[in-house]
Amino acid sequence: KEVIVTSPMHGPNLWPQSQLLPHQWKQDVQQAWAVLLDAARILTKAFALALGEEEGIFDKALQYPASNLLFLRYDAALLAQDSNIGCGAHTDCGFLTLLLQEPNSAPLQVQRGALRAGSLRSSGAHFVDETAWINAPSEEEGAVLVNLGDMMSRWTNGRYRSTVHRVLLEKGGTKKRHSVACFANPAYYTEVSCLKSCCAPSVGMPEARYESITAGKYISDRLGLMYEPPPPHDDDCNV
């Protein structure tokens, strides 16, 4: 059964011109996209169990996700003078990011032990410790790197922290970095409220730090998009 989902974050896919694509490229991308989303759904079950929640607590949120797939290229020749930063320190604003990297390419670095999560007003890159960067693994073909986003941090009241990361390139080099990022975000109308296991009155947990918000409004606000609440519909999701 084909389901048509409508929201301000859903729309037609943007494909390159067909004559520029290798044979079966579009079908291969669609298959990879489906596999990555299924992997994200499986990961959320593990996260839920580790938090002490029901295994399927995130299932409805990712049934019809407001997710996207980006093909990224970083070119050292385009760097600003005297810089080797391909993408500055930041956190992803969404839920989960699954990243495919070209083996042995310019490194993605993550901030070890970073305590800072993003919010509606920041990207989570404040107070970066320049001594705490480590290269994320990229040597193994087919491996998938998973970063947690700010929405995960918000949902879990900070028990799971979003990953501060950046891309470094070789200054003056010719090597490019290619990667594919799958931003696995909940359905647009999903209510993001602190999980019961992550806040009081659960034993040892603090009070909820964040107000309830829909996933779509949170991401729209973080991206600086204009947001006007559309009318409710049958695909509303609550967790």
Mean pLDDT of the 121-142 span: 75
Confidence tier at 116 by pLDDT (50, 70, 90): low
Confidence tier at 28 by pLDDT (50, 70, 90): very high
| Residue tagged 């919010």 (tokens) | 119
Rounded (5°) CA angle 193-186-109: 95
Q: Is the pLDDT of residue 222 over 80?
A: yes
Structure tokens at 204: 């040892």
- Residue 225: per-residue pLDDT: 58
- Residue 236: per-residue pLDDT: 47
For 47-104, write each residue's pLDDT tens digit.
999 999 999 999 999 998 999 999 999 988 888 777 888 888 888 999 999 999 988 7
Mean pLDDT of the 103-129 span: 69
Across 12-21, 67-76, 123-132, least confident range: 123-132
Three-state DSSP at 164 gives coil
DSSP per-residue string spanning 76-90: GGGSPTT--EEEEEE
As a dihedral over the C-alpha atoms of residue 70, residue 75, residue 80, residue 82, rounded to 10 degrees, the angle is 130
Across 18-27, 71-80, 182-191, least confident range: 71-80
Picking from 168, 107, 115, 102, the residue whose alpha carbon sits closest to that of residue 141 is: 102
The secondary element (H helix, E strand) that includes residue 184 is strand 176-184
Residue 209 dihedral angles phi and psi, to the nearest 5°? -90, -15
Instruction: Report the Cα 29 to chain-centroid distance in Å.
Output: 18
Q: What is the mean pLDDT of the chain?
A: 85
